[in-house]
Structure 1
Amino acid sequence: MTRRRDAALAGSVLVPVAAAAVLLRTPVTPEPVFVGVVGALALELALSVRASSVRRLWERRGVRVASVALAIVGTALGVAILGPASLLVVAAGLSTYLLLLAVVELRSRRSGPERRP
């Protein structure tokens, strides 16, 4: 599992979601942003409980492809059912995930072999 690949997959969903939010002129309000941020953190926390199982599953290419497809279809359904604010939930969640990936990557680099005692 690579952080670069995971970031690319998240970006492949975030870009069209953000573009749709702009095209639909979705007003940015705190509630859906909050739901997206908290949802992403809660999902990461839940998945970390079974990290090795999740990692093995995520290594399957079909799982990654299905996840991206499900995220796009799910977001489209969310817009149809709940309205354009669901775009903000998804965008905030993906942005939070990307920020989390960046923090983990930076920590990993800072504690790399050159800094170990």
Structure 2
Amino acid sequence: MDDRTRGLFRDGSLALLALAAMLDVLRRRDRIDTLLDPAALLPGVVGAIVVEALMLRDPERTRDLWERPLVRVASLGGTVAVGRTLARQREERAVAAVCWGLLTYLLLLGVVLSGRENPVSSVRRAVENGSRQS
């Protein structure tokens, strides 16, 4: 396994850990049903796509930052802390949105691991090319 693939599996593992923590928050509050709320699904999916598109604006810088262990640990810890804080404030819909965002990220990661191009990158490039032609 090459370094890139190993890194993608590591990133997926971190996302799965964060997702497990968020699902546990919803389970403990007996609010797993909020995952079925479109008001959680839509912002979670769109939010993940927007974050991915922003990261792809400068992939080298993003990669350089993400390779720092402290950044990865802080991202995981921050995600879990935000989810727990939202749950304490009875914002289970926001916790569910985080779950959908993480699931979207994992889906994108799966596409890349299968050898295909990141769909967000493809769309972003098509939009940029279209705006240049106008």
TM-score, reference length from structure 1 = 0.85
- 2 CA distance for matches of 1:78 and 1:13? 14
Residue type of the partner of 1:17? M
Cα deviation for residue 23 of structure 1 reads 2.6
* Counterpart among 59, 69, 85 of residue 93 in structure 2: 85
Could you say what the CA RMSD is over the residues aligned between the two structures, in angstroms?
Answer: 1.3
Structure possessing the higher relative contact order (Cα contacts under 8 Å, 6 or more residues apart): 1
1:16 aligns with 2:21: yes
Cα deviation for residue 51 of structure 1 reads 0.7
> Residue 49 of structure 1: SS of its match in structure 2?
coil
- 2 CA distance for matches of 1:67 and 1:85? 21
Of all paired residues, the percent bearing the same amino acid is 31
Superposed CA offset, 1:48-100 (max 9, x none): 00110010000000110111111111111222335111221111000000010
Instruction: Mark the runs of 5 or more structure 1 residues left unpaired by the alignment.
Output: 109-117
Instruction: Mark the runs of 5 or more structure 2 residues left unpaired by the alignment.
Output: 117-134
Q: Judge which range, 40-49 or 80-89, deviates more.
A: 80-89
Q: Judge which range, 56-65 or 81-90, deviates more.
A: 81-90
Q: Partner of 1:39 in structure 2?
A: 47
Question: How many aligned positions are there?
Answer: 108
- 2 CA distance for matches of 1:33 and 1:23? 20
Contact 2:55 2:62 in 1 (8 A): yes
Name the CA shift for 1:39/1:82 in 2 (closer, same or farther; >3 Å): farther
Residue type of the partner of 2:86? G
